[in-house]
Amino acid sequence: MDVLKNPVPRLLNKAHHNIDVSKISDGANFVIRTLKSSGYDAFLVGGCVRDLILQNDPNDFDVVTNAKPNEIIKIFGRQSRPIGKRFKLVHVRSKDEVTEVSTFRRMPRRIKSDKNFRKRLKGDNEFGSISEDVFRRDFTINALYFDIDQKVVIDYVGGFYDLTDRKISCIGNPFERFEEDPMRILRAIRFATTLKLSMKNISLAEFSRCGGLLSNLSAARLFYELEKMFLRGSAAVVFNELVGLNLIHFLFPILDRNNMEDPVYKRSLDTIKIALQITDERVKMGQSANLAFLCAVILWSALKIEIQNLRCQITDESLIFDIAAENIISNQIKTIAIPRRVSNIMREIWKIQSVFENPTRRDANRLLQNRRLRAGYNFFVLRSKTEDYLTDTVDWWRKFFVVAKKMNKLPFPESQTYRL
């Protein structure tokens, strides 16, 4: 059955969805009620509805309305800010919370002979109704609307039942959805792994067929998605899935399968997986996770090889590290726009590895003042799991930290260091 020809929604009340409305943020409530009091329709939509149905706490709340962007801005005034080039969205600030508000849009008109669909799509951005808006969305589980007054879930495409059956399904033809926005490939993998869903109408062959589309994504959008994939408690399983589907090199080109024949890269893959598992454990315990640390781990093998190559070209050892780090980061940001605040931390973690590798008591005491001491040491301990020659040096540092702790010089609890 073609869902596009049956725009009749199922209205699911409290008896079906069991949504706890107390989990809806004050900001989202404020935005919806203000829009409704101004004469417009407004609903929660997308991931927040999905998470509420699953009894999870949403990370953020999105609102959709029939008010156009200029009308939304007129209503909220200085509390609002327009964003986006392709699609005009509005961010509305209420106290310390920002709620994203979009306007109902309709599906673009697809021309079968048009081989450059994505380029043409940029100019096709028309407002529509809720029954048209639903078919612009990526997956059925993200195409659910919630009316906070009636406490009703509005479902046009069977997303509620896909969710209860633990399945993820594209709306319409998967290749067309991925072609419209290749980010949906990564989102499908993230949702399937983090929410423990099986693929309904998306085959492994579909991922292989569409993988090349990822190279069309902007580096900035990929960084934003990377944060979601790696900092929400399921980084290890997402990474393994990307490796298994041969898609990881679209994010980190150095992890291309051809490079994996190099022993250095093979060892690094094990280190990366350990780092991701530890990150997941920290997130699940409510502790902080650092994307800079993970990126430093992922790119470490490339940095080591780059340093080796530069030693054949540059005689001044003091220049080699800075040039190598700059080369590796410059190449990576062509794919993922790692911001300077992140890349600077990566450099600092990398740079102090030489002190950890060849410690003297004088250098170790100086390092106690370094703000990246804990991250750098944990990075060093991780390396020791695949670089056996570092094991004895890790023991030296542990003994040094015991002494530093007794002298009240250790700037962090010893429990925050890795013991693998």
Has 62 been annotated as catalytic? yes
CA gap 180, 340 in Å, rounded: 30
Has 138 been annotated as catalytic? yes
Question: C-alpha angle with apex 9: 7 to 15, nearest 5 degrees?
Answer: 170
Q: Where are the alpha helices (DSSP H) in 135-262?
A: 159-164, 174-180, 183-194, 204-210, 219-230, 235-244
- Annotated active-site residue in 62, 133, 155, 181: 62
Q: Where are the alpha helices (DSSP H) in 165-234?
A: 174-180, 183-194, 204-210, 219-230
- Annotated active-site residue in 51, 133, 138, 162: 138
Question: Which residues are paired to 145 by β-bridges?
Answer: 45, 154
- Annotated active-site residue in 41, 60, 124, 147: 60
Helix, strand, or coil here: 334?
A: coil
Query: Token pair for residue 144?
Result: 């659910």
Could you tell me if 4 and 132 are in contact, meaning their C-beta atoms sit under 8 angstroms apart? no
Residue 257 neighbours by CB under 8 Å, 6+ apart: 246, 249
Could you tell me if 412 and 374 are in contact, meaning their C-beta atoms sit under 8 angstroms apart? yes
CA gap 31, 226 in Å, rounded: 29
Positions marked catalytic: 60, 62, 138
